[in-house]
Structure 1
């Protein structure tokens, strides 16, 4: 019966380990565990809010409900749809709402706090990000929102 002697076993094991470490080194190193887990912890299927039963849905272009919490997107302002100043503001507001819903449903996201937790209406103030980029900034770039300046503007 052939038996492997300890010196041979150690030499083979060392060679295999060296080959494994070389392969890991040449491939760019070990993969981050955060990539597997995801750096953005939240994921949900967002509908459009209707009626009083609101848990995870989009109210308008800058307000959502997520897991029973009402959240104001803190870094943007979008046109009003509940009490718009004109028909074009309502149209643009509807587009912003639908686009925010689509963005939220595209994958995991984070809710980043700002310098204060809530606004005067009791909504949590958060910046919604994916891979460190603001979804609100996407709406701004697409002409569906403006950066929050501290006051609402007239969209008409």
Structure 2
């Protein structure tokens, strides 16, 4: 029988059952976090339309009508909202009065709203245009810019006195 003397400086022997460390080291945690973030960025770039950036459709020409109470597929809701092939688009960077309720301007506001809606319908039906999308708003509408010959339709409506800049423009119809 052999006797092993106790040595206080000697570490006790701990056999490992696997090659894995007992705890996750900070370096391993950082590496895992970087990997997950990179994979998320690649997935967003691959699977989201436009990779989280603006998506521009090729130039198109579509026939619109004014939206009614039925199914909305391709129609003008008001001067800043349309449906295009079943997608609800909120045209961004400008605002028009609401045609269905007067918030502050009474009948004059409603009349201006109908003129803005009619003008948008005329612009869309009379020209080829491009659509650029930018995500969604709080009502789950797709935010978009529509351009005719490179000019934002919102800028056209603003220059004609039918809309205001949004969000910083004054509601002149009030």
In the alignment, is residue 94 of structure 1 matched against residue 114 of structure 2? yes
Give the equivalent residue in structure 2 for 1:52: 70
In the alignment, is residue 111 of structure 1 matched against residue 131 of structure 2? yes
Q: Which of these residues, 134, 140, 160, is aligned with residue 122 of structure 1? A: 140
Contact 1:40 1:130 (8 Å CA) reproduced: no
TM-score calculated relative to the size of structure 1: 0.69
Q: Greater CA radius of gyration, 1 or 2?
A: 2
Per-residue deviation, 1:41: 1.9
Alignment of structure 1 residues 141-156 onto 2, 5 Å: 141-149=159-167, 153=171, 155-156=173-174
Alignment of structure 1 residues 24-63 onto 2, 5 Å: 40-63=58-81
* Secondary structure in structure 1 of the residue aligned to 2:145: strand
Structure 1: segments with no counterpart, 5+ residues? 1-38
Cα distance in 1 for partners of 2:141, 2:170 equals 16
Cα distance in 2 for partners of 1:143, 1:81 equals 16
Q: Which of these residues, 101, 107, 125, is aligned with residue 83 of structure 1? A: 101
Structure 2: segments with no counterpart, 5+ residues? 1-56
Cα distance in 1 for partners of 2:144, 2:114 equals 21
TM-score calculated relative to the size of structure 2: 0.62
* Secondary structure in structure 1 of the residue aligned to 2:90: strand
State the aligned residue count: 116
Cα distance in 1 for partners of 2:143, 2:168 equals 13
Contact 1:55 1:67 (8 Å CA) reproduced: yes
